[in-house]
């Protein structure tokens, strides 16, 4: 699959820290490091998967990229231009290029606006076209996400749509300005499997027919395998592994990735799936902040190295990157 090869998005050494204020009864406020020195590049035309569990920082990463929040360290560049610190006209221009689809289809649409108003809103904000041409564009957008005939949907309100239909409206709205880059943050985690399949196929169509580059944020390795060209595995704010999706899943190198694969329900495929056994049943009590984030739960970890330093992503061959001292032996 031709990804055009050039990076459209560059994330360089990005960190995001949330400071919690000291409460009345809690002691001093403790900082939460949501992202810790993340670096990666996404190539034009690829679907890149960011895989992690809750608390991994994956949603924060998405929000930083579309400038919904500011980084604390590092920089994010899209098409070579910094994304951080954008304001006013430049921010508005950026919004035409980069859009986001959120997890909860029941929260992301304004219940008091018709579908026509919701999907045409970006057009009116950016003063594209006029009322009648906008309606036509909305019709096209609705058709492209499978809401046909579009006239059946224009004047409906969200409460009359199912979760899957709402999510398709959200995609139509995200796509109406022909963005180059779309972030989908767990777009199907609240939908049934057969509906999710429809959404996945729409995302694939966006890439195949319109060359839209995508960042797909998910907790599901299976979904990432289906959709993505390359994936990165995030754990407690740090990148653990990054590479071709099939490579990372069939030949995982990081103990955390292996633990994720081990945790998936096995029936029917137990013959195929190896049991890696990298997860400790009891967490180690002596973990230090300066050590590897996964040290407390890693059965392979060695005190002498893994508890004293955080490993960085290194190429283990074939552009398959791992942040682990042991895989580098």
Partner 1 sequence: MALLEVDNLSIGYRTKQGYLKAVEGVSFTLDEGQSLGFVGESGCGKTTIGMALMGLMPPNGSVGQGRILFEGQDLLEMTEAQRRETRWSQIAMIFQAAMNAMNPVQRVGDQIAEAILVHNPAVEKEAALHQVEELFDLVGIPRDRLRGYPHQYSGGMKQRAIIAMALACKPKLIIADEPTTALDVIVQDQILTEIKELQKEFNIGVIFISHDISIVADMCQDIAVMYAGQMVEYGPREAVFDSPVHPYTKALLSSFPTITGEKNDLIPIPGETPNLIHPPSGCRFGERCPGVSLTCSQAPKWIQMGPGHKALCCHC
The CB-of-108 to partner 1 minimum distance in angstroms stands at 18
Interior/surface letters 60-80, b for 16+ CB within 10 angstroms, e for the rest: bbbbbbbbeeebbebebbbbe
Instruction: Decide: is 196 part of the binding site for partner 1 (CB under 8 A).
Output: yes
Instruction: Decide: is 275 part of the binding site for partner 1 (CB under 8 A).
Output: no
The CB-of-219 to partner 1 minimum distance in angstroms stands at 7
d(CA 213, CA 276): 33
Instruction: Decide: is 47 part of the binding site for partner 1 (CB under 8 A).
Output: no
| Of positions 80, 269, 289, 329, contacts partner 1 by CB under 8 A | 269
- Interaction residues for partner 1, span 51-90 (CB under 8 A): 53-54
| Of positions 8, 261, 323, 326, contacts partner 1 by CB under 8 A | 261
* Residue 36 CA to its chain's centroid (Å): 16
The CB-of-191 to partner 1 minimum distance in angstroms stands at 9
- As to burial, measured by CB atoms within 10 angstroms (0-12 exposed, 13-18 middle, 19+ buried), residue 114 is middle
d(CA 211, CA 57): 27
- As to burial, measured by CB atoms within 10 angstroms (0-12 exposed, 13-18 middle, 19+ buried), residue 253 is buried
Instruction: Decide: is 260 part of the binding site for partner 1 (CB under 8 A).
Output: yes
Contact 36, 77 (CB under 8 A): no
d(CA 145, CA 203): 9
Instruction: Decide: is 259 part of the binding site for partner 1 (CB under 8 A).
Output: yes
The CB-of-286 to partner 1 minimum distance in angstroms stands at 17
Q: Which stretch binds partner 1 (CB under 8 A): 122-130, 151-159, 260-268, 285-293?
A: 260-268
The CB-of-7 to partner 1 minimum distance in angstroms stands at 26
Q: Report how many residues bind partner 1 under the rule CB under 8 A.
A: 35
Inter-CA distances, 62 with 163, 278, 313, Å = 22, 29, 20
Q: Which stretch binds partner 1 (CB under 8 A): 85-93, 121-129, 187-195, 300-308?
A: 187-195
Q: How far does the chain reach from its first CA to its final CA, in angstroms?
A: 32
Instruction: Decide: is 249 part of the binding site for partner 1 (CB under 8 A).
Output: yes
Instruction: Decide: is 289 part of the binding site for partner 1 (CB under 8 A).
Output: no
Q: Give me the 154-173 binding string for partner 1, x by CB under 8 A, dash otherwise.
A: --------x-----------
Tokens describing residue 111: 């219940």
Instruction: Decide: is 228 part of the binding site for partner 1 (CB under 8 A).
Output: no
Instruction: Decide: is 226 part of the binding site for partner 1 (CB under 8 A).
Output: yes
Residues 6+ apart with CB under 8 A from 2: 45
Contact 164, 195 (CB under 8 A): yes
- Residue closer to partner 1 by CB (options 53, 79) is 53
- Interaction residues for partner 1, span 2-41 (CB under 8 A): none
- Residue closer to partner 1 by CB (options 90, 274) is 274
Instruction: Decide: is 198 part of the binding site for partner 1 (CB under 8 A).
Output: yes
Tokens describing residue 102: 């959120």
- Residue closer to partner 1 by CB (options 125, 264) is 264
Residues 6+ apart with CB under 8 A from 227: 47, 49, 200, 203, 204, 216
Instruction: Point out which residues bind partner 1 (CB under 8 A).
Output: 53-54, 162, 192-198, 200-201, 219-223, 225-226, 246, 249, 259-269, 272-273, 279
């Amino acid at each position: 699959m031709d990804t055009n090869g050039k990076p459209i998005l560059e994330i360089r050494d990005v960190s995001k820290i949330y400071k919690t204020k000291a409460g009345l009864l809690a002691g001093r406020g403790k900082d939460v490091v949501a992202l810790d020195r993340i670096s990666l590049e996404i190539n034009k035309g690829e679907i890149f998967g960011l895989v992690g569990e809750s608390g991994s920082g994956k949603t924060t990463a998405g929000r930083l990229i579309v400038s919904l929040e500011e980084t604390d360290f590092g920089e994010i560049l899209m098409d070579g231009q910094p994304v951080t610190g954008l304001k006013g006209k430049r921010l508005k221009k950026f919004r035409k290029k980069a859009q986001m689809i959120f997890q909860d289809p029941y929260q992301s649409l304004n219940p008091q606006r018709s579908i026509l108003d919701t999907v045409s809103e970006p057009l009116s904000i950016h003063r594209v076209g006029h009322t009648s041409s906008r309606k036509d564009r909305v019709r096209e957008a609705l058709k492209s996400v499978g809401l046909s005939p579009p006239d059946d949907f224009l004047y409906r309100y969200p409460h009359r749509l199912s979760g899957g239909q709402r999510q398709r409206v959200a995609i139509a709205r995200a796509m109406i300005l022909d963005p180059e880059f779309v972030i989908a943050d767990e777009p199907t985690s609240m939908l049934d499997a057969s509906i999710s399949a429809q959404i996945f196929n729409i995302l694939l169509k966006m890439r195949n027919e319109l060359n839209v580059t995508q960042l797909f944020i998910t907790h599901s390795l299976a979904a990432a395998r289906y959709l993505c060209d390359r994936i990165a595995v995030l754990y407690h704010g740090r990148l653990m592994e990054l590479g071709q999706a099939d490579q990372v899943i069939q030949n995982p190198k990081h103990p955390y990735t292996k633990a994720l694969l081990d945790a998936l329900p096995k029936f029917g495929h137990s013959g195929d799936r190896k049991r890696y056994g990298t997860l400790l049943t009891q967490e180690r009590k002596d973990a230090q902040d300066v050590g590897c984030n996964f040290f407390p739960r890693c059965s392979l970890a060695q005190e002498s190295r893994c508890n004293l330093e955080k490993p960085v992503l290194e190429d283990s061959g074939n552009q398959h990157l791992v942040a682990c001292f042991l895989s580098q032996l």
